[in-house]
Structure 1
Amino acid sequence: MRILTGATWTLEQPRRPAPQMGTRRIEALSSLFAIAALAVVAAPIVMEQSTDGTSSDRAAAPAGAPSAYAPAGGEFMFAGYSGVPYTYPSDVSIKKTGVHDFTVKEVEWEGKPFVNPIYYGARIVRWLGTGRIGTMLDFTHSKTISRFDQEAAFTGTIDSAPAPEKAVIRSVFRKLEASHGHNMLTLNGLFRLPSFTPRIYPYVGLGAGVSLPHSEVQMANSEKRTYEYQMAGAVGQALVGIELRTARVSYFFEYKFTLAPYLMPLSERDGSLLFYDLWRQFSDWLSGEEPPGGRLTTNLVSHQVVGGLGIRSAPAVAAP
């Protein structure tokens, strides 16, 4: 039941259903992926530390061979990381012909990086030539969850009626988040800056790619929800970091800035696997079918501070 009185607007909310088995399974898989990514790159450390950097190892190195700690071209690095994001408040707009055409002003987003599913990332880095320039394929699993206790300003129409001037987010939405992933997949160019020690190398990077969020949107007065992976648009990122190199393992600390303009089709269906959900979205687009719930737009601008470690392949050494 909806009650309109002056500038206030409230809804009697139906009881929220218990989490579905599919939700629990997605949460468990995402956590296992994060743990596995970190465990795989951490495994060699114990074996490495017993010999890393000892004088006997240096003495055994053939004359003219490149240092194990200097950047070298032709090497790969496979890495995992975790971190803490901050996403600026942004306007959220929903348009559905003849039903909704409204904007929520300055929605505040929470990242909750250490609440399941946690913040994590994985990447593949390839350094070229002299080792100063490289490329990186980077996947980041962040989160954006609206603060349901926030009182926000509204403009436009909801259910063909004027929207309230102000309302608490939870009185309008049951769900407004990407908690199974404000996911970003980017291809980046990297450039190493001059080093001030033999083991520590600063670097910068710039890249672009696609946003692949798990969109979770549901109006408070509707039993239908959008709960699936989607391609929501392009994403860009800039980064600056520092790499601490040992013989075969690198530790890195990094600041990333990301910009992701979202366009979410509100399909009002529950999805399953990423590739299957994306195929259904593509099929809908190909058929020209409009999403039954309309479309949601917003711009997510984030700061992210991350730390991680990676295993490097040994670069080729020319024969004497």
Structure 2
Amino acid sequence: MRNLGVTALFAAVILANPAAAEMEVSFYMGTQSSPHAVISGTLDGTAGTAVDRTVAWEGRSFTPPPYYGVRGVYWRESGWGYGLELTHAKVYASDADRTALGLDSLEFTDGHNIITANIHRRWEDRWWNGRLTPFVTAGLGVAVPHVDIQPTGDAHTFGYQLTGPAARLGVGVSIDLTEKISAFTEYQITYSDNKVELDSGGTLETSLVTNALNFGVSYSF
């Protein structure tokens, strides 16, 4: 997924007007969690083992591969911005739920990747002599998770899939460190509707929400 992040940032730069007021590239890490969600479908075809259970998901933000995100924003002088963002989130089913479903593995951990086209709004010169800048973010896009699901004794589904639509909302504040570099913190929530095709012949569906507290740095040019 490193290539996806590079592609997203490259596309943001290419799409920007050469006379752009400012381009900004950001990288962040943080702590991310995911609430319980219902997973349904079948494990091995239309006549196979049915699944319908509320699963407890775990984020494990700092377990390799870690949770992180990268984005590019083209800021206009009006305070509005447009860009692309990749969030490498993660979700692991609890051991109890995974076992109850008859699965050796049930996770999206490299990762549960959310790619969105964003719109941003910031308010400069508001706090602390203009050094602190509050901002909000909203975006729509797709989920491209790395699926790791294996029914006990059956085929192991292991690879990236385009699983459905996704959205994000965020609010945060940045602080200028130099003329070009700033640091920021933000709260961000993502939503994705996922339909996964299993190598065992079945399909699984679940809607996932992630909640994250991010800390990052930005470079403007």
The TM-score range, normalised by the shorter chain, is: 0.7 to 0.9
1:124 aligns with 2:32: no
Distance in 2, Cα, partners of 1:309 & 1:251: 4
Amino acid across the alignment from 1:92: I
Partners of 2:206 and 2:195 in 1: CA distance: 7
Following TM superposition, by how much is the alpha carbon of 1:171 offset from its aligned partner in structure 2, in angstroms?
6.4
Find 2:160's aligned residue among 214, 225, 229. Answer: 229
CA–CA separation in structure 2 for the residues paired with 1:171 and 1:207:
33
Structure 2 stretches lacking a partner, 5+ long? 7-19
Cα offset, 1:170, TM superposition:
5.9
CA contact (8 A) 1:182 1:211 kept: yes
Q: Which has the larger radius of gyration?
A: 1
Report the counterpart of residue 115 of structure 1 in structure 2: 63
Deviations 1:128-184 (A, max 9, x none): 133x11012110001101111x2x5xxxxxxxxxxxxxxx62661001001110100
Q: Any conservation in 2 of the 1:214–1:227 contact (CA below 8 Å)?
A: yes
Give the match for residue 17 of structure 2: none
Q: How big is the shift at 1:221?
A: 3.0
1:160-239 to 2 correspondences below 5 Å: 169=99, 172-193=102-123, 195-197=126-128, 198-222=130-154, 224-239=155-170
SS for the counterpart of 1:306 is: strand
Once the two structures are aligned, what percentage of the paired residues are identical? 29
SS of 1:221 mapped into structure 2 = coil
Q: TM-score, normalised by structure 2?
A: 0.85
List runs of 5+ in structure 1 lacking aligned partners: 1-29, 38-72, 153-167, 269-291, 314-320
Question: What is the CA deviation profile of residues 34-87 of structure 1, one whole-angstrom value per residue up to 9, with x for unaligned ones?
Answer: xxx9xxxxxxxxxxxxxxxxxxxxxxxxxxxxxxxxxxx711111111011110
Residue 206 of structure 1 deviates from its aligned partner by 1.0
Q: For residues 215 and 121 of structure 2, what CA distance do their matches in structure 1 show? A: 18
**1:193–1:204 CA contact under 8 A, matched in 2:** no
Which letter maps to 1:175?
A: S
Cα distance between partner residues in 2 of 1:209 and 1:221: 35
Map 1:1-320 → 2, pairs under 5 A: 74-95=21-42, 96-104=45-53, 106-130=54-78, 132-148=79-95, 150=96, 152=97, 169=99, 172-193=102-123, 195-197=126-128, 198-222=130-154, 224-245=155-176, 246-266=178-198, 268=199, 292-313=200-221
The structure with the largest strand share of the pair is: 2
Query: In the aligned structure 2, how far is the partner of 1:102 from the partner of 1:118?
Result: 29
Q: How far apart, in 1, do the equivalents of 2:25 and 2:77 lie?
A: 19
Relative contact order higher in (CA < 8 Å, ≥ 6 apart): 2
How many pairs were matched up? 202
> For residue 299 of structure 1, what is the amino acid of its counterpart?
S
Return the offset for 1:307. 0.7
Q: From the two aligned structures, give the one with the greater helix fraction.
A: 1
CA gap of 1:187–1:171, structure 2 versus 1, over 3 A, is: closer
Q: How many Å separate the matches in 2 of 1:293 and 1:176? A: 16
Structural RMSD (CA): 2.1
The runs of at least 4 consecutive aligned structure 1 residues that moved more than 2 Å come to 168-171
Taking the aligned partners of 1:172 and 1:183, their CA distance within structure 2 comes to 25
